């Protein structure tokens, strides 16, 4: 899982990153609204933890921008604003959950994990299904009919990205950000190698990875 935390209190973000990392959850941090707006628009996260009171751009405007662009990433609002009207405003703006400061870190982690399960595909434990393939995201296992294949790490991360959101186009930038990280110096040929490997695996199935010329790739039915 990969999440984004948009919060201007540095001590809070550092502590949360440490706790989520211990849970084997990758974390990106934005300490102001302008950076949060840019990162949230990438649509590469499983969950976004979003504060309302932020410098430059407030959390509600970030959330509205996401939803207006069609970004359906689950969002949990993390804020000190605790009136009923504030909570209603956040939920009506497109938030999926709302947690008031101060909060118990165990509760936040539990809510983030719960939100990450709200996907476009059928979720059964740790296994996603699309057409006649299944993918166990925890153990990197791809099932094609009765055959089981153990995927290498990078190939597994790419497969997870595709099968969680089939029919969605992922840009090359989104793939690099998700698999190698925002600062990685990766050539597009690296992506093509892993896409090629997955295509070969999916040849006998009802699914395929299609190239969207000039944009990126998506998983869809044949």
pLDDT above 90 (res 116) = no
- For residues 78 and 51, is the Cβ–Cβ distance under 8 A? yes
* Nearest CA-CA partner of 177 in 20, 38, 33: 38
pLDDT at 184: 62
102 preceded by a cis bond (ω within 30 of 0):
yes
pLDDT at 215 over 50: yes
Q: Determine the Cα–Cα distance for residues 190 and 65; give it in Å rounded to an integer.
A: 31
Q: What is the pLDDT of residue 122?
A: 44
pLDDT tens per residue across span 35-87 = 999 999 887 888 999 999 899 999 999 999 998 888 888 999 887 766 666 66
Sheet of 170-171, strands arranged across = 170-171, 216-221, 207-212
- What's the confidence (pLDDT) of residue 185? 67
Retrieve residue 40's tokens.
């949230």
Q: Taking residues 128-139, report their average pLDDT.
A: 88
Instruction: Set out the domains of the chain in order of their start, with CATH numbers.
Output: 2-116 (3.40.50.2300), 122-221 (1.10.10.10)
Residue 123: per-residue pLDDT: 43
Which tens digits make up the pLDDT trace of 142-190?
Answer: 999 878 998 888 888 899 989 988 998 888 888 887 777 756 666 777 7
Residues of 189-211 as b/e, b for ≥16 C-beta within 10 angstroms?
Answer: ebbeebbebbeebbeebebebbe
b/e per residue, 60-82, with b = 16+ CB within 10 A?
A: bbbbeebeeeebbbbbbbbbebe
Among left, alpha and beta (phi > 0; psi -120 to 50; other), residue 64 is: alpha
Q: Span 110-120, mean pLDDT?
A: 75
Judged by average pLDDT, the poorest of 29-38, 95-104, 116-125, 182-191 is 116-125
Cα(50)–Cα(59) distance, integer angstroms:
6
The answer to whether residues 43 and 71 touch, using CB atoms and an 8 Å cutoff, is yes
Residue pair 51/108 in contact (Cβ under 8 Å)? The answer is: no
Average pLDDT over residues 75-101: 77
Query: Which letter, b or e, does each residue of 167-181 get, where b requires 16 or more Cβ atoms within 10 Å of its Cβ?
Result: ebbbbbebbbbbbee
Q: Which of 10-14, 136-140, 145-149, 180-184 has the lowest mean pLDDT?
A: 180-184
- Long-range CB pairs of 129-133, under 8 A, 24+ apart, other chains included: 130/163, 130/166, 130/207, 130/219, 131/205, 131/206, 131/207, 131/221, 132/205, 132/206, 132/207, 133/163, 133/202, 133/205, 133/206, 133/207
């Amino acid at each position: 899982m990969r999440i984004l935390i948009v919060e201007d209190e540095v001590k809070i973000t550092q502590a949360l990153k440490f706790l989520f990392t211990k849970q084997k959850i990758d974390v990106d941090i934005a300490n102001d609204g302008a950076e949060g707006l840019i990162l949230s628009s990438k649509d590469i996260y499983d969950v976004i933890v979003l504060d309302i009171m932020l410098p430059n751009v407030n959390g509600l405007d970030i959330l509205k921008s996401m939803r207006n662009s069609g970004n359906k990433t689950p969002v949990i609002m993390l804020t000190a604003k605790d009136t009923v009207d504030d909570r209603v405003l956040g939920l009506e703006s497109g938030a999926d959950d709302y947690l008031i400061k101060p909060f118990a870190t165990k509760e936040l982690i539990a809510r983030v994990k719960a939100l990450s399960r709200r996907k476009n595909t059928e979720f059964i434990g740790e296994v996603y299904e699309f057409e006649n393939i299944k993918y166990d995201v925890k153990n990197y296992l791809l099932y094609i009919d009765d055959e089981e294949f153990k995927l290498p790490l990078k190939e597994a991360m790419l497969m997870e990205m595709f099968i969680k959101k089939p029919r969605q186009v992922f840009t090359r930038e989104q793939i690099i950000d998700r698999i190698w990280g925002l600062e990685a110096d990766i050539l597009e040929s690296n992506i093509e190698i892993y896409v090629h490997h997955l295509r070969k695996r999916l040849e006998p199935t009802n699914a395929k990875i299609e190239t969207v010329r000039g944009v990126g790739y998506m998983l869809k039915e044949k």
